[in-house]
Amino acid sequence: MCFRPAATVTIVKCLECGTFNKPTDETCKKCGTDLTASRKAAEDAIAATAPAPSEISLTPQGLDDAPKAPGAPKAPAAPKAPGAPKN
Ligand SMILES: [Zn+2]
């Protein structure tokens, strides 16, 4: 299976011994430490790297009143190709 959601813990590293465990494991397979804290740390790490959708502003503000950037050149008109056949 290739499909993998973007923000999903796929592996949990034991905070005690560093062993990688499946996120479905309750305890470390090596040392038996409860992986709840480790799983939480992994989720926090993902949350820290993934962009929060709430940060995206969907409301344009003052686009009509915004002054044009000074010195911004207008888009040059495309020169007509000489001899180009019209349709
Ligand atoms: Zn461990």
* pLDDT per residue of the chain (87 residues) written in tens, 0 to 9: 566 555 677 889 999 999 999 988 999 999 999 999 999 988 888 888 877 666 666 666 666 666 666 776 777 777 777 776 766
Apex 9 CA angle, 5 and 13, nearest 5: 155
Give the model's pLDDT for residue 18.
Answer: 95
CA dist., res. 19 & res. 30, Å (int): 7
Tell me how many domains the chain contains: 1
How far does the centroid of ligand 1 lie from the alpha carbon of residue 43, in Å? 18
In a domain, 75, yes or no: no
Give the model's pLDDT for residue 59.
Answer: 67
Neighbours of ion ligand 1 (CB under 5 A): 14, 16-17, 19, 28, 30-31, 33
In a domain, 18, yes or no: yes
In a domain, 81, yes or no: no
Length of the chain measured in residues? 87
What proportions of the chain, in percent to the nearest 5, are helix, strand and coil? 20, 5, 75
Give the model's pLDDT for residue 79.
Answer: 77
Range of the domain at 21: 12-50
Give the model's pLDDT for residue 56.
Answer: 60
Q: Write the CB contacts of 33 (distance below 8 Å, at least 6 apart in sequence).
A: 14, 15, 16, 17, 27
